[in-house]
Structure 1
């Protein structure tokens, strides 16, 4: 079927035809990766802080728990002999009423005696009586350690193995490192996505 154009009259303006609405332009590609960059950056900062604080706090908490959990055994005399490992800490307690008068020495296995601070250390109940920490012995190697104190009628010994909370401290180092690697990967992933989406937007 043919379409007949409208008649043209002399001096009449030519009819104007308007084109239909143009197709809607496709939206520009969104730039991606910003959230990953933000979370990755925050993760790295948080893990840097955690890497410094967490192992330190873990070591302190582990040491306190180990000391509180260690059982002090009365020697029945102002001296005692202990079989210690190279990573053991030997804590020495004396009756609370006599502790301020205690003067102790240690020998064997390269051990040295370190007195507690003036206000005393941890206290424990030994045979129904209160005993106060008066110092600690650190052996340089495994072997027999002799502790002898003057000015007290009895001492009690508690041995704490350092290996346990050292292992916990090492584990606490590994956790922030692993999380830091995850955060770094998230950051790199976000940067790559951001760059690619930016190039796509420019081409559009």
Structure 2
């Protein structure tokens, strides 16, 4: 049975943009808004995706990222976001982030070795293939974070949007993310590659 998770899905005319966290989705959305493309928010559940992928008249697209780098970026982004949370009145999502910070602080190595990405209901930690593939179908276009502007240029041509390089937004600024103390060792990579094996295989990483 396919599990349902929260994710942002937008209708752009007959085109559907699926925003997977930490894959430059905000930069893409900003560019589309600057071109005055209207968005309709379908909500945050991938229960829509089976229907969208099976409709040949709908063009679906997203951006993906190396699973290990995405996970690292997501962890430190959420730890950074912790400081912005109203601790007296957190949302369910914010409560998960509070628990994450209380359990691991900014210790990325501990988070990985403990398989912390399995322990929280946070879409940033879910495999990307939950939104790029179904049992019988897959998304129409997949851009790559690692080749962002070339992917965006190709997508711009498909959508009929004038190409301009994407603006970089939503950078994580924590020193612990930037320095080499957060680098992966062999055991950490083994754990990540095991859990995200479908991402590595189906997305070509």
TM-score, normalization by structure 1: 0.18
Q: Tell me which structure has the larger Cα radius of gyration.
A: 1
Structure having the higher strand fraction is 1
TM-score, normalization by structure 2: 0.18
Structure having the higher helix fraction is 2
